[in-house]
Amino acid sequence: MCGIAGIVLRENAEQLPVKIRLLTDSIAHRGPDGEGIHVRDNVAIGHRRLSIIDLEGGAQPMLDASGRYCLTFNGEIYNYKTLRQQLEGKGFVFKTASDTEVVLKAYMYWGRECVKRFRGMFAFGIADFERRQIFLARDPLGIKPLVYLKQPSFTAFASEIRGLRLLAGNALDIDPQAVDEYLLCDFIAAPRTVYRGMRKLEPGHYCEISFDGSVSDSTAYWQFEFRPDYTVSREEWLEALETTLQESVRAHLVSDVPFGAFLSGGIDSTAVVSYMANELSDPVRTFSIGFDDSSYDESQYSNYVADRWQTEHQLFVMKSDAMSVLPQLVERYGEPIAGPSAIPTYYMCQAAASKVKMVLSGDGADEAFGGYWRYFQWLEWIHLQDHRQLARQHGVEGEFLKNSANEQRLPSFDKWICHHTTFGAPERAQLWGSKWPAVDCSHNLRMREFFNLAEAYTAGHRVQFADVNTYLQKILTKMDMMSMIHGLEVRTPIVDIRVYELAARIPEEYNFHRDRDGRFTGKTLLKELLLKYFPQDFVYRKKQGFKVPLESWLFKDVANKNVVEERLLSNASALSGHFDQQALRAMLPTLRDKQVWSLLFLEEWVRGQGVTPAVQFDQSRLSAPRDA
């Protein structure tokens, strides 16, 4: 895993070495094993390396023999050996054993179409000094980040937001609609960032930066789509899922350095560790986080799985440390992303990095196979949709819809977004108060766009589709940023193009079902596979998720409670320049722990900007008030 960067200067090209060094220094934590820059004409390409494959031969930026192409690459290509053989058959000669060289020569031969051949996680830039442009691409599901910024004097890209912000200085305006989207659901979906002019390249997309600094529209080369196949039996789906997961785990184990796995004891990480244990001759190294609060601690389950597979297990027990780690989280994210699970993830990555350089995780199964509580709540609410479909088949849909109760059960984005909302529209309006108009982000909200695109899907697939294309970015960004702080590579064998393409073909009823108490549950096929190794009471226990005792950390700890009030309500609060402090003071006693953490994260982030409210928010660009 690595950090990548590049810059095109429109003038003063002699400043390129200094500016590219600023970018690479800002991502030094992503690549502690090596660094490099290449400067030519008005372009500079930079790289920081964390060595995982071909430790000696994969140095970057990598140039072809002619010097026409220059690559900076972050990620792993799991089918690189197959692609190498194909390219050797086309006459290419390789000097290294790295996947980096395969990416470079694949682009030289296939051009833009090369991205359709890669299986893996990646973000990269390739400068073509003959065509005078830089090709940027990001993996299909967005495991690896890529951000770019266009300014009057330069255009630049990097793995993280922080370096681009430093490069721009105070020239960036914060996008208040993006801030409102953050308040709504705790993250800002691609392509938007919190800054105007700075964009995340969307998963499964590529774009090009001309040497004159212009940026092309991004182009989608892959899109996740549900296409359920009802001709395949349940038993055949089980066999296909097991085969695909086994093969994906095997592909993700290719490494020239010591590796392990995160093990929470949940279904997803348990499945990954189980397939690793079946694949490897040596014991798997596993890492878990526990809590001193027994109501949140699930270490008994991770210990149980570790004992079952005789792994080399390390358990780290967390105590209240939310406030002390907050500044590091904010700095690395570069924009507000408030999920509190980042706290234990940070410490779990720290613990793993002391022993290995790469781990596998179970991220992505909830989106692919239907594991979130919000899906079950949504299906409970929408269950009369099944009756509507029957009514349609019998030609009596109109009679069915005359019943107002039935009408309310039809899929509605406004109903679905309630399951994601941190601050509802009335609360956000109170926070903005008279200082700034309420921001209209509803028509631009990416989750709404994907929800509407999935109108033809079943109710469950519709919300999974919206999450895969938006919320999954939050999960993957969290893991990328928290692991890269500690120079640790995290691989996600479930967030794999072949696994997700299989998931897209599985009918909804094979993932969601009602349990014996009549309540919806999910990941049915995945759970059934685990019954080969674990008893029913372990596999079918109540889902808890990666929750943290945030309420205890923030409110029961007197010192932390005082810090919370000081940061949010004092005259020194950074948010005082943007939010109605009187309204916030009235709201604070009634806010949930998640809401308070969201505000604390935003406060810390605004505090770190070091610019005045007038510079940050351009009020003239705000839209008219409207509820999201």
Residues classed as catalytic: 2
Do residues 110 and 185 touch, judged by C-beta distance below 8 A?
A: no
Q: SS3 for 528?
A: helix
Q: SS3 for 9?
A: strand
Do residues 577 and 613 touch, judged by C-beta distance below 8 A?
A: yes
Q: Per DSSP, which regions of 319-393 are E strands?
A: 358-360
510: alpha, beta or left? (left if phi > 0; alpha if psi -120 to 50)? alpha
Separation CA 269–CA 7 (nearest Å): 39
State how far the alpha carbon of 287 is from the alpha carbons of 193, 351, 353, 402, in Å. 32, 7, 10, 55
Separation CA 251–CA 424 (nearest Å): 43
The one-letter code for the residue type at 465 is: F
Crossing angle between the packed helical segments 342-353 and 471-485, to the nearest 10 degrees: 40
Peptide bond before residue 61 is cis, with ω within 30 degrees of 0: yes
Separation CA 370–CA 386 (nearest Å): 18
Separation CA 158–CA 146 (nearest Å): 6
Q: Which residues contact 53 (CB under 8 A, 6 or more apart)?
A: 76, 97, 98, 99, 254, 255, 256
Task: Work out the burial of residue 151: count CB atoms within 10 Å of its CB; fewer than 13 is exposed, 13-18 middle, 19 or more buried.
Answer: middle
Do residues 6 and 125 touch, judged by C-beta distance below 8 A?
A: yes
End-to-end, the C-alpha distance of the chain in Å comes to 38
514 forms beta bridges with: 520
Q: Which residues contact 449 (CB under 8 A, 6 or more apart)?
A: none
Q: Per DSSP, which regions of 143-294 are E strands?
A: 147-150, 154-158, 198-200, 205-210, 219-220, 259-262, 285-291
Q: What is the per-residue DSSP string for 43-92?
A: EEEEEEE---SSTTT--SSEE-TTSSEEEEEEEEETTHHHHHHHHHHTT-
Do residues 491 and 349 touch, judged by C-beta distance below 8 A?
A: no
If you count them, how many residues does the chain have? 628
The one-letter code for the residue type at 188 is: I
Q: SS3 for 418?
A: coil
Q: What is the enclosing helix (H) or strand (E) of 364?
A: none
